[in-house]
Chain A
Amino acid sequence: MNIELIFQIAGIGILTAIFHTILKQAGKEEYSFIATLAGVSIALMMVIQLLAELLDQVQGVFFL
């Protein structure tokens, strides 16, 4: 059970939220959107690897 991954994703979320706020305050709306998009993409990459592991394991256990 790797709980580090949950903390990593939460950290990415907090960081992108801060970037979003700072860039919005600076008047760079378009950059703030891109920052959020980048954070979501990185989190998606991490979750997708975990999802692939789960699907592999389910296929192995249940003969799917």
Chain B
Amino acid sequence: MEILQVVGIGLTGTILTVFLKESNKEVAVFVSLATGLVLFIFALSKIGDVLDVLQELARRAQINLFYLTTVLKIMGIAYLAEFGAQICKDTGEGAIATKIELAAKILVMVLALPIIMAILESVLRLLPS
């Protein structure tokens, strides 16, 4: 029952953060950050197993691994950006959070460009010239 641990850690971190917010604002941010990091690292260890299965499936279906790694990279960027943006938002820095999200979107678009180009090329090949 790992979900009990996760909920317990989250609640403990929240209570400590609320307790510290009154007396020591700076360290309260660190407590909430550390709680988030611990939970995130735990979730990541589980995601690793799922991704191994996905790779095995892709290998069996003989899909080009380049596409799978691109999707995984996009997922990683999204997770990290969401994490950073939420921390910024929690401390009241909404502007920085928006910039982080914008940068993440642009990076995702850069990663997706080769796939879009591949789709366009195959569409062009289908069209009669």
Interface, chain A (partner B; CB < 8 A): 1-3, 5-7, 9-10, 12-14, 16-17, 20-21, 36, 39-40, 43-44, 46-47, 50-51, 53-55, 57-64
Contacts and interface: CB of A to CB of B under 8 A. Distances in A.
A60 to B, nearest CB: 8
Identify whether the interface residues of A are mostly helix, strand, loop, or mixed: helix
Contacts of B37: 47, 50-51, 53-54
Q: How large is the interface on B (under 10, 10 to 19, 20 to 34, 35 or more residues)?
A: 35 or more
A6 B9 contact: yes
Interface of B: 5, 9, 12-13, 16, 19-20, 23-24, 26-28, 30-31, 33-35, 37-42, 44-45, 47-48, 51, 69, 72-73, 75-77, 79-80
